Structures are given as C-alpha cells and as structure tokens.
A and B are shown apart, each in its own frame.
Chain A
C-alpha cells in the first residue's frame, strides 16, 4: 500500500502474524476457551479471538458474503496457515477459478501456493462446471466430486478442506433435486471424514446464501460484508452462528492488505484491564510537575487539545523521545504529517527522533485519515500495535478524523479500550478552536480520557503567549493553574507559577531560578538534553 510508504525501516521488527495472534490470545483471558468444543486456529489475527479458538474442528463452516467481500481469501488464509503453521495440510477445491488463477490471486498476500503444493501440504483441485458443456440424460449423482475430494484428501493427509464456491454447481447442473440431496450427503460425508471444512457461498436476497447452503451447514456460519460509506470502504465480519460455542456477536471490521487478513476484535476489550501504578514522564519536566506525580500513570490515555500552532505535535514528539530514552518502544500514528516532516520539525526544538527510529524504538505509521473508514483505521492500528508491541502510542492528531460525533466517540472509545487492554500509555492530540474549547465540544471525548491537557494561545500586548492547563487528571493531585510555556531549541519550557495573563514574563530563566519546586526537575532534564 502506498500509504505505508512512510513506514520506517522497522518491518523487520515484526514478530509475524502468527506470533502476534498467539501473543494476543495469551494476553486476553476470554480466549482461553471455556468451551469444550474442539477448535482449530485459523491463524487469522483477531478471528481466533472472537471465536475463542477458531473454527470447529472436523466440522463444516459456511463463509458467506457478497461478491468481492473476501470469502476466498479468508478461506485460503485458513488453509495456508493450517498447512504452514499448524501442521494441518489442506485441500482447496475451487469451482470458479483454476489453480493458476487461485495461486496468482493470493500471491499478493505472500502465499506461496506452488511451494506448499510441492511440499505436499496443499492440494488444489479445480472443478470445472460449465452448463453449456454438459448434457444431462437420466439419473446421476455427484460421486465424481466425492471421489476427487477423497483422493485429494488422502494424497496429502489433509485435515482442512475448502470448497469455493459450491454454488457454482447450481448454475452448472440442472437437476437441483439431485444436487440438494448430494450436498446433504457431502456435508455428512465431510463430518464423517473429520475434516475441518470451509464452504463459501454467495450472499442471496434475504438469505445468507443464494441457494440456501446454510440449510446444510449448521455448525458455524460466518458472514462477510463490505460497506461503502462516503466513499470509504469498510469490511466487516460477523459470526452469525457457532453451535456449541460462545462467540463474539458483533460486526467486526476486518481488513485485507499486503499483510493478509486481520479481524479487529476491539469490542472484545472491556474495562477489566489491569491498572498500573507506574508513572510515565511526559518528557516535559514542567508539565510533569503540574501533574503532581512527575508524569502520567502508565496505561492512561492522555489528550492534548489546543488551537493551531500550540505545539501539540511537539508535546507528542517529546513524549515519544522520552519513551525511547527510557528504552521503551513507541508507535507513532501520524495522520497529518509525514514522519520525515515530524522528525525535521522537532529538530528545531532540539529533539532528534531519528536515532530512536534507527534503533528500532520508535516507529511511525502514517496514513491519511480519508484513506480508510474509522474501523479500518482501528483495524490497522490494532494490527500495528500487535506487531510492534509498544509501551507508548501517539495518535497525532485525532481531529484529522472527520465524521459524526457518535462515530468519533465510538472510534475513540474502542481505540482507548484497545490500548488500555494492553497497558499502553497513549497520547492523543486534537486540534480545537477556542470556541470549541468553551462550548464543550470535547466533553464526550473527555469522558474516555484520563488526563486532559489544554493548550491555549493568547494574544497579549501584540505577542502570542501560550498557556497550558490541566482540565482533568484522574487520580492525580494536579495543578489547577494555567501556566505559560515556551517552545525553544531545548524543547518545551513550562514556566512555574500561575500565569496572570497581564503581561508576558520578561525572562524565563529568572522564573526558573525563582526556586519553586515545580521548576527543579526541568532544569536537570534540560542539562541532560544538551
């Protein structure tokens, strides 16, 4: 993807999709699997989580959806992961595309079909059904299909089977009475064989599938969907039915890109996350002093809101810099500026992020907010966070997302949940106008945020003066003062003491030397930075 062009040379840090899923599974208690129903992992990030362990083992699963919703890719991913990661060879029986087309279609996801076939981990059989080439005369059955499937399964000892898509039979064969009887027999046969089967089906009007395949596959039904809203496409996945197993019931966004398929189980995050008493410095000593605890609680969500040019990105950059200096990993989601631009601009305040990027402690993920829908952004962020496993995350800025307040609120809530569940300290920036600040537009967002820091920009005596104050800081005995701060080539200097607003303090060093406790840590930090 071109949006990923900004991605810093950090890809090698990936722990791999499979590892990410496993670590995700082990992190999340609901995935432990209370159900005794045997399941097999699909290796699809997030999906194994919402189904609490994957697909029902040895049973057929129906994957249905409209054209282009990713049914084939979903099925193929399950198969390839099974073959390459879980030691379960698979048979891909295709009714629509021939073996070469199938291999070409999934090559973009990095699947080496030919290699797996050569290693006898995968068998691909193309069943060509062409009405015009078939004349029907008298009674028949589909034993030929059974024979082929049986042969393919035996040839590689397959444990998984994909039939993509069986409905092609309905257009190819005229006798639906025979066909339906045979399909019923086929699903019974698959169960007897004990293979985990994925059957794809085209979505029909008012029904899950055009030809009612759901009638035969009653164990597990998964619905894929593509929604275009304001020219932004979001893919969604829903587990319609999972006999004998609890499962997430919501529609989960999922995405298909060069990394494969990942499902985002954001709503599976709750408020049951562990809290951390540890403190994370904001990187700005004067701000830490205002907070009363020398920083934010680890795992809290911090919002910097302010007008244009108040230095939100500078605060964010310093926060990232401080994290990297502590040896922590920081993932920086940039939605407005390119990483290079952010790095360059921060140099003017004496912060150099490049060494952290080179050291693999800081990673930028940049994309335009308009590239995807909210859910897709969330899904991508989820995946990136999974892969990089950061201690600290920056989202800059939140306001780049446009949409209804409800949507933004929901997105932010899920984002916050997502980060909290991992104990990640998150810093969000948000551009607001002065009017917005006073009209309380941010109130909805505020309820999700632990620490809300407002940056204001006042014009006093012909000079712009910046002020910072804390609207709230949960669980912290924080300062209620508005303090002046300055951006300079050593970072950000918060001037201790309430800012009267009547005149600009003449010389900052005088105030630092005034001996107020708040100013002390700042001084030492300043030295170390130089």
Chain B
C-alpha cells in the first residue's frame, strides 16, 4: 500500500467520508488465483486502514457458487460490490490501486482533474 500522509489517510479511520456508515462489501473471485488472493489482501488492508469497525466483507468464490454471478451482474473478476451504503458500487480489479478503490467506494472525494 502506498497510502501515506494525505488528509484522510493520516486521520483515524473514523473520520472517513461517511463516519458511522456501515460498509457492506462483497468481493467476487473465481478460484484461488493470484489476482483473487491479492484482491482479498488489498481489500482487508484498506478496510483496516480506513473503515475500522465499519465494514463487513463477504468473499464469494464463483467457482463454487456460479449461480451468484448473474445476481450482482458480475462480469470481471475480482469484482468488489458495495451493497451498503447505497448506491450500489462496483470496483473491478485486484484493488492494487487503493486510491481508486477509496474514490470508488466514496470514502474519498474524486480528485479534481
């Protein structure tokens, strides 16, 4: 994680964009691939850093539960789906770019460009 001293990251996790909000996250993977493992690790690290006690993660292996793929419109793997808070958000990839994950989950404002 190359997350370091910028505004949100430096503060305790509770001061993220949505304090007291519970993040219900679901991570879809397909088998124990390197990408899957990386995504799980990256997500856990990120949540521990920014969403302490505010999150729950459910990892779904589509190899075991293929019928679940259609429900959440899974196309790419890994896909992180934020069910709560609404609206529904999808982030695809191994979540190695944590800046994008934070923006994608609305934990951090999209940087003006």
**Do A and B make up one complex?**
yes
Query: Does B14 interact with chain A (Cβ within 8 Å)?
Result: no
B90 touches A137 (CB 8 A): no
Contact residues, A381-395 vs B (CB, 8 A): none
Stretch from B5-13, B15-23, B48-56, B69-77 forming part of the interface with A:
B69-77
Query: Does A277 interact with chain B (Cβ within 8 Å)?
Result: no
List the A residue with the shortest CB-CB distance to B77: A143
Residues of the A chain whose Cβ atoms lie less than 8 Å from the Cβ of B98: 137
Residues of the A chain whose Cβ atoms lie less than 8 Å from the Cβ of B39: 138
Query: Does B59 interact with chain A (Cβ within 8 Å)?
Result: no
Residues of the A chain whose Cβ atoms lie less than 8 Å from the Cβ of B91: 134-137
Select which of B28, B35, B76 is within 8 A of A173 by beta carbon: B76
Query: In the bound complex, how far is the Cα of B35 from the Cα of A125, in angstroms?
Result: 26
B104 touches A140 (CB 8 A): no
Query: In the bound complex, how far is the Cα of B70 from the Cα of A93, in angstroms?
Result: 11
B94 touches A144 (CB 8 A): no
A137 touches B96 (CB 8 A): yes
B100 touches A147 (CB 8 A): no
Query: In the bound complex, how far is the Cα of B30 from the Cα of A136, in angstroms?
Result: 17
Q: A133-B89, A134-B91, A135-B100 are in contact. Are A140 and B66 (CB under 8 A)?
A: no
B95 touches A147 (CB 8 A): no
Query: Does A344 interact with chain B (Cβ within 8 Å)?
Result: no
Query: Does A142 interact with chain B (Cβ within 8 Å)?
Result: yes
List the A residue with the shortest CB-CB distance to B105: A135
Q: A144-B62, A147-B63, A173-B76 are in contact. Are A139 and B101 (CB under 8 A)?
A: no
Residues of the B chain whose Cβ atoms lie less than 8 Å from the Cβ of A125: 70
Query: Does A150 interact with chain B (Cβ within 8 Å)?
Result: yes
Select which of B69, B88, B92, B96 is within 8 A of A148 by beta carbon: B69
A143 touches B92 (CB 8 A): no
Q: A137-B104, A144-B28 are in contact. Are A151 and B69 (CB under 8 A)?
A: yes
Query: In the bound complex, how far is the Cα of B66 from the Cα of A139, in angstroms?
Result: 21
Query: Does A518 interact with chain B (Cβ within 8 Å)?
Result: no
Query: Does B58 interact with chain A (Cβ within 8 Å)?
Result: no
User: What is the total number of residues of chain B having a CB less than 8 Å from a CB of chain A?
Assistant: 35
A144 touches B30 (CB 8 A): yes
Residues of the B chain whose Cβ atoms lie less than 8 Å from the Cβ of A129: 75
Residues of the B chain whose Cβ atoms lie less than 8 Å from the Cβ of A169: 75
Q: A135-B103, A138-B93, A139-B94 are in contact. Are A144 and B79 (CB under 8 A)?
A: yes
Contact residues, A409-427 vs B (CB, 8 A): none
Query: Does A141 interact with chain B (Cβ within 8 Å)?
Result: yes
Query: In the bound complex, how far is the Cα of B38 from the Cα of A141, in angstroms?
Result: 13
List the B residue with the shortest CB-CB distance to A144: B74
Q: A135-B104, A142-B76 are in contact. Are A147 and B69 (CB under 8 A)?
A: yes
Query: In the bound complex, how far is the Cα of B90 from the Cα of A196, in angstroms?
Result: 32
A144 touches B76 (CB 8 A): yes
Select which of A133, A134, A141 is within 8 A of B77 by beta carbon: A141
Query: In the bound complex, how far is the Cα of B28 from the Cα of A142, in angstroms?
Result: 12
B75 touches A145 (CB 8 A): yes
List the A residue with the shortest CB-CB distance to B76: A140
Q: A143-B62, A147-B62 are in contact. Are A127 and B73 (CB under 8 A)?
A: yes
Residues of the B chain whose Cβ atoms lie less than 8 Å from the Cβ of A148: 66, 69-70, 74-75
B69 touches A136 (CB 8 A): no
A138 touches B94 (CB 8 A): yes
List 23 A-B pairs, Cβ < 8 Å.
Answer: A135-B89, A135-B90, A135-B103, A136-B93, A136-B100, A137-B93, A137-B96, A138-B39, A138-B42, A140-B35, A140-B76, A140-B78, A142-B75, A143-B62, A143-B77, A144-B30, A144-B69, A146-B30, A147-B74, A148-B66, A148-B74, A151-B69, A172-B75
Residues of A at the B interface (CB closer than 8 Å) are: 125, 127-129, 133-148, 150-151, 169, 172-173
New contact pairs (18) apart from A137-B94, A143-B30, CB-CB < 8 Å: A127-B73, A133-B89, A134-B90, A134-B91, A135-B101, A137-B92, A138-B42, A138-B94, A139-B94, A139-B96, A140-B35, A142-B75, A144-B69, A144-B74, A145-B75, A146-B30, A147-B63, A151-B67
